[in-house]
Amino acid sequence: MATKFLLWCGVWAGPFYLAVGIAQALLRDGFVFSKHPLSVLTNGPGGWIQTVNFVVTGLMVLAAAVGFRRVLGPKPRMTWFLGAYGAAMLAAAMFRADPMDGFPPGTPLGVPTTMSTTGLLHFAAGGVGFVCLAVSCFLAAREMRRRNAASLARLSLGSGLIVVVGFFGGAVLPIGGVLGIWLAVVVGWAWLTIMSLRIQRLP
Question: What's 201's DSSP letter?
Answer: G
Q: What is the largest CA-CA distance in the chain?
A: 56
Tell which wins on pLDDT, 133 or 201: 133
Predicted confidence (pLDDT) per residue in 39-66, tens digit:
999 999 999 999 999 999 999 999 999 9
Number of domains composing the chain: 1
Give CA separation, 25 vs 40, 41, 42, 50, 129, in Å: 10, 7, 11, 10, 22
CA 144 to chain centre: 22
Other Cβ atoms closer than 10 A to 44: 18
| Average per-residue pLDDT for the chain | 91
Whole-angstrom Cα distance, residue 195 to residue 71?
12
pTM: 0.91
Helices 47-72/177-198 angle, 10° precision: 40
Hey, what's the torsion of the CAs at 193, 10, 159, 75, to 10 degrees? -130
Predicted confidence (pLDDT) per residue in 149-180, tens digit:
999 999 999 999 999 988 887 555 544 568 88
In order, the DSSP letters of 118-160 are HHHHHHHHHHHHHHHHHHHHHHHHHHHHHTT-HHHHHHHHHHH
Domain with 71, as residue range(s), is 2-201
